[in-house]
Structure 1
């Protein structure tokens, strides 16, 4: 700094800082940068807490009666006791009980009486003593099966047979010798059994499940 007379002067005192300026207006957004690489897969998080119990659903359709899927039982297995000389035109009476819990076989009449409509299997094994023998199985008074045993030399022989029948309630099934000319002795002892057996294979499904109970 020079004086008025042109002689050198001293430097002046620095001025104070100026006031801070006002914030400028926001600028425009810049262009998006390129996408960076994917990061590594993170660890699975902890299992969350159970949510609240939902509302009950609508009731399902009513199921069918369980009785249709649990068939009733009907079975018997009977044998002779000792010798019996059964005349033709009369049922052979089996009085030795192996199984007859439902009492559908009557050892007095010698007949099985159907209580549950359905499909049944019947079988018999008879020890024959002394003659040729023709055995018939009857259903309601009509023959449904025959067995002819042609006796040979010896004391005892066997006759057997089996059949499947479709029965209605009240039907009766039994065995008897078919003709007088073939009349012979049916035999049983401690070493030989003559047996008559039958059991329900499948019940008949009725439109009203309670019908089986009524019978």
Structure 2
């Protein structure tokens, strides 16, 4: 039998492979295909088939178009915490902040009858007088911190006498606290918010008309109070 050489197994020229295949079958008959004597089988020359011829690698083709985005996958597990970063730079210094307060609460133990057409209501008891902004001798609050203030006046009327007072800002009457003469004495109250500038004055004035004007109090209890405090300072 004709055996294939190593060149035949490793692949070579197509012509050599074809010629060796032809040589193997020359003057021979394939078994089972030809009729004749057993010599036909005996004279068969077997040839191992040639392996495929190895081709050279071609050039790389152009990149194809990008495909569509796929569906978004599930969120992954949170990773470990990173290292602590460096300390940042100090910021620009801000404006200094100063809190502003102003408040007072005063009372009067003695009753008062108006002896003149205009009379300032003065007080003899101090509950609160922050920074001394309320002048007890003059009965006036002096504004040292411009802003919005709240004021409240409480008085007790006198039987059969008229009660007629104003909360004043400088020389202007702002609100009235009034009660007609009656056989019953009652508590009256008035309040207001005012925007004040520095050196403004707030005080209580009694006003006398043809009838006697009075407020009631005694040495045991305090019936007359005047209060005020700063709500919002004007820092502009």
| 1:2-59 per-position Cα deviation (integer Å, ceiling 9, x unaligned) | xxxxxxxxxxxxxxxxxxxxxxxxxxxxxxxxxxxxxxxxxxxxx89x96x7654222
Q: Deviations over 1:165-190 (max 9, x none)?
A: 00011000111112333542222232
Q: What's the CA shift string for 1:46-86, capped at 9, x where partnerless?
A: x89x96x765422212223222xx3x111111110222224
Match of 1:115 among 139, 144, 154: 144
Partner SS state of residue 73, structure 1: coil
- Tell me: CA distance 1:112–1:183, structure 2 relative to 1, closer, same or farther (3 Å): farther
Q: How many residues align?
A: 158
Offset at 1:93? 0.1
**CA contact under 8 A between 1:127 and 1:192: conserved in structure 2?**
no
- In 1, the alpha carbon distance for the partners of 2:211 and 2:104 equals 27
**Over residues 123-171 of structure 1, what are the superposed CA-to-partner deviations in whole Å (9 max), with x where a residue is unaligned?**
11101213122111111101111122112213x2322201000001100
Structure 2: give runs of 5+ residues left out of the alignment: 1-79
In the alignment, the residues of structure 1 paired with residue 205 and residue 101 of structure 2 have an alpha-carbon distance, to the nearest angstrom, of 26
Normalization by structure 1: what TM-score? Answer: 0.65
Out of 104, 110, 113, the position equivalent to 1:82 is 110
2:95 maps to what in 1?
64
1:186 matches 2:215: yes
| 3-state secondary structure, aligned to 2:95 | coil
Summarize the alignment of residues 1-215 of structure 1 with structure 2, pairs less than 5 Å apart.
55-67=86-98, 70=99, 72-86=100-114, 87-130=116-159, 131-154=161-184, 156-189=185-218, 190-206=220-236
Larger Cα-atom Rg:
2
Mark the runs of 5 or more structure 1 residues left unpaired by the alignment: 1-46, 207-215
Q: Deviations over 1:85-120 (max 9, x none)?
A: 244422100111111132111111111111111100
In structure 2, the residue matched to 1:17 is: none
Give the whole-Å Cα distance in 1 for the aligned partners of 2:211 and 2:169.
Answer: 21
Q: Following the alignment from structure 2 to structure 1, what is the Cα–Cα distance between the partners of residues 217 and 93?
A: 54
